[in-house]
Structure 1
Amino acid sequence: MKKIGFLSFGHWTPHPQSGTQSARDMLLQAIDLAQAMEDIGADGAYFRVHHFAQQMSSPFPLLAAIGARTSRVEIGTGVIDMRYENPMYMVEDAGSADLISGGRLQLGISRGSPEQVIDGWRHFGYQAAEDDGDGAEMARRKTELFLQLLEGRGFAQPNPRPMFPNPPGLLRLEPHADGLRQRIWWGAGSNATARWAAQQGMNLMSSTLKNDETGEPFHVQQAQQIRLFREEWSQHEWGFEPRVSVSRSIVAITDHRDRRYFAGGGDREDQIGYIDHSTRAIFGRSYAAEPEVLIEELRRDEAIAESDTLLITIPSQLGVDYNTHLIESILTEVAPALGWR
């Protein structure tokens, strides 16, 4: 069995052919799509976070709204760039969204991907050390604090003359969401950061790109990353079994709309590129084919086989109805033959 959900970048643009003409369109359709996913039996509604772009940027209001509308589907991010975050405020926001949803929040965090602007996190008032040019170490320090705060231990000295009575002892941030600490995921772009995620007691979220560390096909390198994560996890006593997700662009071509949008298109092979002008990265291929062909192609994807959660990237600008069809086709035409359902 494998959990299957969608991952949306939350694009919008005032183009005549776009189904999301504005940020409001995108947000309201995201809520409707999450409800539709629950109705068809999918497992998750996840959202990518980008700043300074016409995409999803502030996830917690949306996650809370989805949590209030739905009752079963997981809600999450993939991923929040910790360079932009205040860990204390984030604990309060995440705790509130998790409580509204009844404990269904699956929060993916990371250093983040290449930005729309130069060092955008500096505009949010954050400064990295001189030897931390891209803010990666700052993001990890913030993450360590965030995880510590999620444990719910008191740390703040209470005012001896408070406005309202305090419980005894040091105070923690509120509201506290019990169990959320075990539902934090790290978006790892390399084998080393996958090991670091295990050392911190976070689940692993592996995207459609990673550092090209061996020259092998993307899915082979990603599967190795997952095995290294689990190997490292086994060296620690975190008290729970970790989860692993991978993201893929997958389309089962079953009708004229699928053929129009995707037949003969997409990246059928892995691509090589560079992140931040220096890091050689490998980008995983896309899958678009008739179900019987798709099943055989996906059967050979080693990283999907190693994961317990599959997040399917969706073209949010094509609207709720089409994206519901896209995910439902995979659930009914592909997943059973692969043993995912």
Structure 2
Amino acid sequence: MAAAGASNLSVVVHKAGDLRLENRPMPEPGPYDVLLKMHSVGICGSDVHYWQRGRIGDFVVNSPMVLGHEASGTVVKVGSSVTTLKKGDRVAIEPGVPRETDEFCKSGRYNLSPTIFFCATPPDDGNLCRYYTHNANFCYKLPDNVTFEEGALIEPLSVGIHACRRAGVTLGSKVFICGAGPIGLVTLLCSHESRRTSQILSDLSAPRLEKAKELGADFTVEIKKESPQELADRVKNTFGCMPEITMECSGAEASIQTAVYATRSGGTVVLIGMGPEMVTLPLVSAAAREVDIKGIFRYCNTWPMAIAMLASKKVNVQALVTHRFPLEKALEAFETTRKCVGIKVMLKCDPNDQNP
């Protein structure tokens, strides 16, 4: 277990623009929790958003909050009622834990529960720290051939898995992915490797589109100064057809409009990216062509599938990690993410183990 008086260095946002490294008290696990020595934690766009703006929609930073929710670590102590994990187990953390068994939990859609605890979503602390406690039922053992970094990347990978399920991706689907950031790229990996689909990706960034090609995208389209309809036409001409499924990963209004125009009649648009609260959509085009528009909120029941995919080496999520920083350099790591340098920035929380 953690040594008495051990440092619990943590990355804490106090308010918009105020990000600090500070020592927090050493946590103790409750009866159904485990104490984890954190190893790898990825920086998500939402972490940067809380740092820069102090809120995401109705979730407002009203008191200091530890950031981080893409995480893995090692069990160092178990609660009195925990039987599924033991000291020394390497685990990936699912950050959303239902606080009660409500109608959404009973139907298997616990991600929609209004009472869910979620790491680094006000008022709940995240796990970008040395030591952290979490419900044991939402910590998943990692196979020996899955690295800590891959374990941390299960969280964004789960977004892609959940989106593909909601979209109804199947063998041979033609898929258009708007945005080649981390979420767009994991969505590419999930759609391609699980169902052998064909994909086309769009983005403003040529380097990110190059990464998409490396990861298996069949076609890419670099966005220029053009209308959503013009971009949709370029997607059709480049792809050779209108896609059946469009995954919108940016949240930008113009990109959502493009998604609707680009999707073939009877197809599906899945909204993954979180953008402005209010956007203008070409709903007449969607309705007249029976284009279904679906949303996703995080994920549910995805960790076992993600672990199986990683263990079988069907997906290469580690290729997304372009920068690594020790926890002590978290402020530099956040600045790197804010500037959109690279793809995924990973923080290494264990000073004695900086390996992937």
- The two structures have a TM-score, normalised by structure 2, of 0.28
Which structure has more RCO (C-alpha within 8 Å, separation ≥ 6)? 1
| The structure with more helix, counted as a fraction of residues | 1
| The structure with more strand, counted as a fraction of residues | 2
- The two structures have a TM-score, normalised by structure 1, of 0.29
